[in-house]
Structure 1
Amino acid sequence: MPCYNEHGTVSRIVDAVLASPLVGELIIVDDGSADGTREVLAGIDDDRVQVILHDRNLGKGAALRTAYAAASCPFVIVQDADLEYDPADYAVMIGPLVDGKADVVYGSRFMGAKPHRVLYFWHYAGNKFLTTVSNMVTNLNLTDMETCFKAFRREVIQGIEIEESRFGVEPEVTAKIARLDLAIYEVGISYDGRTYADGKKIGWRDGFRALFCIVAYSPAGEALRLKRLLPRR
């Protein structure tokens, strides 16, 4: 669980995660919060919870890099510290992993019949554009490349070097798993998207970064070392 300035939601999402009988451990990486989130995390009393603190804000990708390295259970699910993604969907997320069918599972906000909050058209359009470009580069047929809800066999995600420190981590991971001989599944999930007033952090600059990352981490981009042209973030 990457976490940055989520004082208003982190207690509720931690309770929801720990209420799931499927959770063997919860690794929370606080990425330099300064709004009281750390004080909330310090009050958690559950042997399944490990809290790791970054001295300063490094970005979501950096928080995930730290969390993946600390994971010890067979399956790893990314759970944001807001309330957009529902732990009640864990069973459907890990189903293909448990059945031995998948190595990676993406939780799609754009397939299935589960409820979705209606919000920003341009976020939707941007997501579909980035997913389409990513699919063209990776030859996958995902409906939601940018989803935060991803599940992995632990050895898979720990075997991938995470280089992006911010939201570019999503296209980076997608590009890298596409080059491996892996079984990738997609399942429909519910989604309770939040507004910027509620604390949403991703913006248009992250969209441009994602587009650059799709190209830079593609086989052609790697061959040309295009990622060296990306300023480190």
Structure 2
Amino acid sequence: MKIDKLSIIIPAYNEGGTIHLILNKIKAVELIDDIQKEIIIVDDCSRDNTEQAVAEYQATNPDLNIRYFKHAKNKGKGAALHTGIAQATGAYTIIQDADLEYDPTEYNDLLKPICNGFADVVYGSRFMGSNPHRILFFWHTIGNRWLTFLSNMLSNLNLTDMETCYKLFDTKLLQSLKLREKRFGFEPEVTIKVARIPRIRIYEVGISYYGRTYEDGKKIGWKDGFRAIYCILKYGLFSSK
């Protein structure tokens, strides 16, 4: 399958100190089959210098296709993704956090099942394969695995990492979904709704993971875990929309 352009959605909140680093990594990646890159940054009303950092990067890298949007008030990661999804013009869309936990050099690993005609959606799993993973929080890992297990029960999938950031979608398919979750509930909602699409082909590939500590700026916490449980039950049991 020939893909002309990949839309890369970056939700950003107070990432002024690192966003230029992730943009450098994205710029350096040469995508397979000469696929072009569209970078969509959605600033979720950051209180730091994120907007200035992006503007300076755009000024010094005019050859990079960066589109910048900013929310007038903080709405959450899911809401930032909704904005980015609506603006995507590439044939396929991937989600990229603004921090340095995920490595853009692995985009091609996720694209291969698409380009080879096998997949419509590809998830990057932190829990499979031999790529490097930073060793961090035991209970955080257990929580992720348990949420994935619960999601699998209600979606009839066998994913190993439902909560992963790296999700690659057919853009039109993604834009056809009625997504409602404005914060970290996006992950279980989009997974369950995608799983319900008839004849959908979902693949999973191993990726590396360079996790941040909370001192480094990691934002997800235990309250988000409870919200994820609520969303799995809501969309898995009680909602078909």
* Shorter-chain TM-score range: over 0.9
User: 1:117-137 deviations in whole A, cap 9, x for unaligned?
Assistant: 000000000001100000011
**1:166-205 residue pairs with structure 2 within 5 A?**
166-181=183-198, 182-205=200-223
Report the alpha carbon displacement of residue 44 of structure 1 after superposing the two structures with TM: 2.3
* Aligned equivalent of 2:181, options 137, 140, 164: 164
Question: Match of 1:39, SS?
Answer: helix
The aligned counterpart of 1:114 is: 131
* Aligned equivalent of 2:47, options 34, 38, 59: 34
| Conserved? CA contact 1:13–1:83, under 8 Å | yes
The aligned counterpart of 1:104 is: 121
Separation of aligned partners in 2, 1:9 and 1:137: 37
The answer to whether residue 151 in structure 2 is matched with residue 134 in structure 1 is yes
Report the alpha carbon displacement of residue 76 of structure 1 after superposing the two structures with TM: 0.7
Where does the alignment leave 5 or more consecutive residues of structure 1 unmatched? 226-233
Separation of aligned partners in 2, 1:221 and 1:9: 40
The answer to whether residue 106 in structure 2 is matched with residue 67 in structure 1 is no
| Conserved? CA contact 1:28–1:67, under 8 Å | yes
The aligned counterpart of 1:7 is: 16
Separation of aligned partners in 1, 2:131 and 2:151: 25
Question: Match of 1:50, SS?
Answer: strand
The one-letter amino acid paired with 1:177 is: V
Separation of aligned partners in 2, 1:124 and 1:8: 26
The answer to whether residue 233 in structure 2 is matched with residue 215 in structure 1 is yes
The one-letter amino acid paired with 1:199 is: G
Question: Match of 1:110, SS?
Answer: coil
Q: Aligned-pair RMSD on alpha carbons?
A: 1.1
Question: Match of 2:26, SS?
Answer: helix
State which drifts further: 47-56 or 80-89: 47-56
Report the alpha carbon displacement of residue 100 of structure 1 after superposing the two structures with TM: 1.3
The one-letter amino acid paired with 2:49 is: G
The one-letter amino acid paired with 1:15 is: N
Report the alpha carbon displacement of residue 51 of structure 1 after superposing the two structures with TM: 0.5
| Conserved? CA contact 1:171–1:214, under 8 Å | yes
Aligned length: 223
Question: Match of 1:152, SS?
Answer: strand
The aligned counterpart of 2:161 is: 144
User: 1:18-74 deviations in whole A, cap 9, x for unaligned?
Assistant: 222225210000000011111101112235000011111100000000001111111
Report the alpha carbon displacement of residue 187 of structure 1 after superposing the two structures with TM: 0.2
Moved runs in structure 1, 4+ residues, more than 2 A?
44-47
Separation of aligned partners in 2, 1:61 and 1:98: 27
Separation of aligned partners in 2, 1:175 and 1:80: 21
The one-letter amino acid paired with 2:172 is: E
The one-letter amino acid paired with 1:29 is: V
Report the alpha carbon displacement of residue 90 of structure 1 after superposing the two structures with TM: 0.3
User: 1:130-185 deviations in whole A, cap 9, x for unaligned?
Assistant: 00000011110000000011001111111111100000000000010011121000
The one-letter amino acid paired with 1:194 is: R
| Conserved? CA contact 1:75–1:94, under 8 Å | no
| Conserved? CA contact 1:79–1:148, under 8 Å | yes
| Conserved? CA contact 1:108–1:143, under 8 Å | yes
Q: Could you state the TM-score of these two structures normalised by the residue count of structure 2?
A: 0.90
Percent identity of equivalent pairs: 54
The one-letter amino acid paired with 2:42 is: V
Separation of aligned partners in 1, 2:216 and 2:17: 9
The aligned counterpart of 1:44 is: 57
Separation of aligned partners in 2, 1:51 and 1:161: 23
Q: Could you state the TM-score of these two structures normalised by the residue count of structure 1?
A: 0.93
Separation of aligned partners in 1, 2:20 and 2:106: 19
